[in-house]
Chains A and B, each alone.
Chain A
């Protein structure tokens, strides 16, 4: 016992006092985000492995129907913190409400979606609780020997994967990359427990004020759910090239994707970006046009079922992972491809 205490790190806790798997169910203006369902899917697997219930944390104001929805999507218990001051996300209110709950209930795992808001909230909580947080995980496993969460994430622009552990601090916290985990399924007959409470919050606790919410200024690009994606890269040569990509995408009812180079060059909005710093996608068909296949791009699309690559350079790395490759000028190949597609439609 003495040995054990000596080796303990600053902020270390008795990990055996912590039990339970929690997920943060992010909602914005009464809409539950897709990533929350992905966390439920993944959280369920982890909870089953550990033989523990799955709990969701829901914060907001008058969002009771979301609490019900979470039960139907497979959660055993919902802590639903209802407060006027939590109506719109704010760092201070959400951090306090969740930290108070963690300190009282002591969960061993806490998962948060790696959205622009989850990435504001997660580090704030981990810093206050004094525990580890692994960012943007793409894979989670339990090592039953040590009862540890093995948190795998890309690093160095997707060039390297690292598995991170948090041995002596609890909860083991991770943000999870949207679009990677499988969503849980809806079951209208599922039952669970909703524990509604009023977090202890006062006006003065909230030090930032949201003056306005503006949505729709950026194109809503539904890459994560797309069945077919047609993506353009630097090989397009100019921003106008995306018009050709769009016409090909139209033939498939597909969503337009883009490489980081084209986004950095300002040819297309960031919402279209696929890759380590963009979105992770797994469509049935991914058509990469003029994309060389830098690791950081591959990191976001190599789970696609079928990959087609069109590129001038026969040595482009994209051909190594593609199922079908066409070496050639995309401005010649794509029009021919569209014509051939029209041929079958008729």
Chain B
């Protein structure tokens, strides 16, 4: 059985800073990581591989050449094969065009039973690419998966909702999106890291390699466009710092809130 895991290399948004003058992102020195939810997706694939016979785990990423590092990390964690979809033709893709490119690559790989994606990436938070890939491929989906079981040719998943979960059954081939509750991703082993960096273990595919229709790619293939981006208008509070002993500060705060009819 073949499992394909889609993963994205993202800037660690906890470390992102904004240039206060230009209002643009400062990416210098911001570490790139495997998107957290995608790591849960990979971990689940590796767990299925450990618990079952004859499972092959392929990791697939679309991104610039340096996304190679994220794929090597995935190999070091235990993935069998890694493919980097990298081509200038893909740049500027919105979620529709991204999912189309990934779905085309998945079709090109062929013969899969499970596609695992993270629920969403921390740089965009859209949670769209997983379901859109499923639709392009014409296969069912279960999103927000927090527990997974494989039973014969079926999967049974606990799918999180706001105040509980649904237990959902679906037949393979199927696409699943993982949330962090699903598992605790492993660390790569030393041997794994060593092997991942031996020679060229990451395959590079271009748009032509997967026979993609160019009109569906990049900016040209994207229904949405960014009209403008800006730094969020900050709130300016009254900014009054209360002084004195803890008791005095607390007393003043009560008076202030009373003045605003909040108590």
Contact = CB atoms under 8 A, between A and B. Distances in A.
Given A120-B131, A160-B229, A326 B249 contact: yes
Interface stretch (A75-83, A132-140, A231-239): A132-140
Given A159-B18, A336-B247, A168 B132 contact: no
A337 B170 contact: no
Interface string B229-263: 11110111111111000110111011011101011
B224 A132 contact: yes
Nearest to B154: A209
A169 to B, nearest CB: 4
B141 A168 contact: no
A327 B249 CA distance: 9
Interface in A92-140: 92, 95, 115-117, 119-120, 122-124, 126-128, 130-136
Nearest to A213: B166
A284 to B, nearest CB: 6
B263 A344 contact: yes
A48 B122 CA distance: 35
A135 B127 contact: yes
A218 interface: yes
Q: Is the interface of B mostly helix, strand, loop or mixed?
A: mixed
A214 interface: yes
Interface in A146-177: 150, 154-169
Interface size bucket, B side? 35 or more
B91 interface: no
B191 interface: no
Interface in B102-149: 122-132, 134-136, 140-144
Contacts of B170: 207-209
A117 B237 contact: no
A188 interface: no
B165 interface: yes
Interface size for chain A: under 10, 10 to 19, 20 to 34, or 35 or more residues? 35 or more
B167 interface: yes
A228 B256 CA distance: 15
Contact of B226 (A11, A130, A157, A163): A163
B142 A208 contact: yes
A285 B232 contact: no
Given A133-B95, A323-B237, A163 B164 contact: no
B256 A324 contact: yes
B169 A10 contact: no
Contact of A91 (B140, B238, B253, B254): B140
Given A127-B136, A156-B25, A276-B125, A319 B239 contact: yes
Contacts of B156: 211
Interface in B83-114: 94-96, 99
Contact of A216 (B18, B163, B216, B229): B163
A321 interface: yes
A239 B170 CA distance: 38
B239 to A, nearest CB: 7
B117 to A, nearest CB: 11
Given A120-B144, A166-B224, A322-B237, A160 B258 contact: no
Nearest to B236: A321
B169 A336 contact: no
A92 B174 CA distance: 13
A168 B223 contact: yes
Contacts of A207: 140, 170-171
A165 B224 contact: yes
A224 B142 CA distance: 27
A285 B261 CA distance: 10
A127 B232 contact: no
A296 interface: yes
Given A126-B132, A284-B262, A339 B250 contact: yes
B66 interface: no
Given A91-B141, A165-B227, A212-B166, A323 B238 contact: yes
Contacts of A324: 238, 240, 242, 253, 256-257
Contacts of A127: 96, 99, 131-132, 135-136
A340 B59 CA distance: 58
A295 to B, nearest CB: 7
Given A116-B143, A154-B232, A216-B163, 16 more contacts: A10-B220, A10-B221, A122-B128, A123-B127, A127-B99, A155-B124, A157-B14, A159-B13, A207-B140, A208-B141, A210-B168, A214-B167, A277-B122, A323-B238, A324-B238, A340-B251
18 contacts: A9-B223, A115-B161, A119-B143, A123-B95, A126-B132, A131-B96, A133-B128, A155-B123, A159-B231, A160-B25, A162-B226, A210-B166, A217-B165, A321-B236, A321-B237, A326-B241, A336-B251, A340-B253
10 nearest CB pairs, A to B: A132-B223, A157-B13, A132-B224, A127-B135, A336-B250, A135-B126, A215-B164, A207-B140, A123-B128, A123-B131
